[in-house]
Amino acid sequence: MTDEQREIWELVRQSNRAWVAGAAHEVANLFDEAAVVIPPALQGRVEGREAIVRSYEQYVHHARTHSFEELEHSIDVFGDVAAVAYRFAVRYTLNGEDAERDETGQEVLMLRRTPSGWKALWRTQTTE
């Protein structure tokens, strides 16, 4: 893995650690102002960094994450553009429920190098 790939991967992992810890506002560091998130099963779109941060805040207020593990990952850099794909396993409980839920899936992000560092332009997630 190159230094550039490590930098990108650490940015993604920092963002994941932030929302898992309940600091959803910190995911703003990952996203470009005009970023788009496509939720699992193509259920709508979340457009813009502020709306994306609000979506993470809503999750944090409605669920408690017990564990989140990034599994194998791939990072490809093409000049000022990067593609990141990784598999994950998450265990969480929705508020008001006793049963823990286990999910696995894949996340794909497209990032662009900006003067302030790498920023995600597009993100989607699939769950199994």
Query: What pLDDT, on a 0 to 100 scale, did the predictor assign at position 42?
Result: 64
Closest CA to 12 of 123, 102, 95, 100: 123
Query: What pLDDT, on a 0 to 100 scale, did the predictor assign at position 40?
Result: 82
Domain limits for position 78? 3-127
Q: What do you get for the CA distance between the two ends of the chain, in Å?
A: 28
Cβ(70)–Cβ(104) below 8 Å: no
Three-state SS for 16? helix
Task: Give pTM, 2 decimals.
Answer: 0.91
CA distance 67 to 114: 31
The CATH number given to whatever domain includes residue 52 is 3.10.450.50
Query: What pLDDT, on a 0 to 100 scale, did the predictor assign at position 93?
Result: 95
Query: Could you give the number of structural domains in the chain?
Result: 1
Average pLDDT, the chain: 95
Cβ(114)–Cβ(34) below 8 Å: no
Low-confidence ranges of the chain (pLDDT < 50): none
What phi and psi, each to the nearest 5 degrees, are found at residue 73? -140, 160
pLDDT in tens, 18-29: 999 999 999 999
pLDDT in tens, 34-57: 999 998 876 789 999 999 999 999
Q: Report the run of H or E that residue 106 belongs to, with start and end.
A: strand 101-114
How large is the angle between the packed helices 3-20 and 49-62, nearest 10 degrees?
Answer: 50
Query: What pLDDT, on a 0 to 100 scale, did the predictor assign at position 80?
Result: 97
Query: What pLDDT, on a 0 to 100 scale, did the predictor assign at position 113?
Result: 97
CA distance 77 to 4: 8
Closest CA to 27 of 58, 53, 64: 53
Neighbours of 36 (CB within 10 A): 18
